[in-house]
Amino acid sequence: MKDRKSAVLAAIDDSWRQFRRSLDQLVSEDMSKPGVLEQQSVTDVIGHITTWEWELVSALDRGRIEPVGNVDHFNEQAVKRKANNDSRQTVEEMEQVHRSLRDQLAKAPTAYFEPFDPFREMIDSCTVLHYQEHASQIRIWASSHSIAPPNA
């Protein structure tokens, strides 16, 4: 039987693959169109996920969670900071940060993966739950807005 940490890491990897698949049908022009999440584009959503992954990387590195304060304001500021990034830059940053996150998670104490641990809550909300939420939004949006040919 898998230990809890291995099970959580496997769930993260599975959800990540599903999130990445939601991007596979898109071309660069698709990724910059607004409307996935209010006025946010796929590129904005990817930047948002990357920002929260980086928050988790930083917390794991520090060994403590620091509250971000007003989450809506935090998210708005992150979108503004990344507003000039093109889709290629955003995807490259996403991949780099995700690799850093996986490295940090692999080194993290097993206690962080136990139910009700504050880190477990942050891990779940910044990874599996986040990937699932936004992959679903991207798939729904792309089904009616993507310019890529089906099964491209």
Residue 136 lies in a domain: yes
Q: What is the pLDDT of residues 15-37, one digit of tens each?
A: 999 999 999 888 888 899 999 98
Residue 81 lies in a domain: yes
Residue 122 lies in a domain: yes
Residue 113 lies in a domain: yes
What is the end-to-end Cα distance of the chain in Å, rounded?
A: 39
Residue 31 lies in a domain: no
Domain region containing 139? 4-15+36-145
Residue 23 lies in a domain: no
* Cβ–Cβ under 8 Å, residues 127 and 56: yes
Residue 21 lies in a domain: no
Name, in order, each residue with C-beta under 8 angstroms of 2's C-beta and a sequence gap of 6 or more: 10
* Cβ–Cβ under 8 Å, residues 99 and 16: no
Centre a 10 Å sphere on the Cβ of residue 51 and count the other Cβ atoms it contains: 20
Count of domains observed in the chain: 1
Q: How does DSSP classify residue 149? A: P
Task: State the pLDDT at residue 24.
Answer: 87
What are 40's strand-pairing partners? Answer: 37
Instruction: Using alpha carbons, list the distances in angstroms from residue 31 to 75, 125, 145.
Output: 19, 24, 10
* Cβ–Cβ under 8 Å, residues 32 and 43: yes
Task: State the pLDDT at residue 146.
Answer: 62
Task: State the pLDDT at residue 148.
Answer: 56
For residues 132 and 27, which has the higher predicted lDDT (pLDDT)? 132
Residue 29 lies in a domain: no
Q: Is it the case that residue 150 has pLDDT exceeding 60?
A: no
Q: What is the mean pLDDT of residues 145-150?
A: 60
Nearest one of 108, 101, 123 to 63, comparing CA atoms: 108
Task: State the pLDDT at residue 152.
Answer: 44
Q: What is the pLDDT of residues 65-119, one digit of tens each?
A: 999 999 999 999 998 898 888 899 999 999 999 999 999 999 999 999 999 999 9
What is the value of pTM for the model shown? 0.91
Q: What is the mean pLDDT of residues 120-141?
A: 96
Q: What is the pLDDT of residues 44-67, one digit of tens each?
A: 999 999 999 999 999 999 999 999
pLDDT-based confidence at residue 2 (cuts at 50, 70, 90): low
